[in-house]
Amino acid sequence: MSKVVVYRPVDGITLNTEIEYLLNEDDSVMMFDSEEQAKIWLAMQGITEEELFVMTFLESCGTCKRCGGPLFPSLLKKEGYTYQCFTCDEDFYAFEQND
């Protein structure tokens, strides 16, 4: 089953090229079962539509062969890195992941 994470430009300012992920209290990346679930949770936190507008919902695209957790498309501009695992805090080349 796929997971969804949420990110936005730092501080929600669209000119920022750095991004930040929605985190749990322990600083791990927050995961949702669907974009719908994420939006419901955000609405419960009092997120406005304007704040929601700059957020991006990123769906997982595979399984990490190291920890079995969800793999997400890498947002790094570094050449060749295609996937990232938030649990391992690692970026992977395409051939390292399981489909």
Using CB under 5 A as the binding criterion, the count of chain residues that bind Zn ion stands at: 7
Q: Which of residues 31-90 bind Zn ion (CB under 5 A)?
A: 64, 66-67, 69, 85, 87-88
How many Cβ atoms from other residues are within 10 Å of residue 21's Cβ? Answer: 16
Is 32 or 42 the residue whose CB approaches Zn ion more closely? Answer: 32
Q: How many CA atoms lie within 13 A of 6 on its CB side?
A: 23
Tell me whether residue 14 or residue 95 sits nearer to Zn ion (CB atom).
95
43 vs 68 by CB, closer to Zn ion: 68
Beta strands of the chain (E only): which ranges?
Answer: 4-9, 19-21, 56-59, 62-63, 70-73, 81-85, 90-93
Q: Least distance from C-beta 69 to Zn ion, angstroms?
A: 5
Report whether 62 contacts 72 (CB < 8 A): no
Three-state DSSP class for 47?
coil
Smallest distance from the beta carbon of 86 to Zn ion, in angstroms?
8
Using CB under 5 A, list all residues that contact Zn ion.
64, 66-67, 69, 85, 87-88
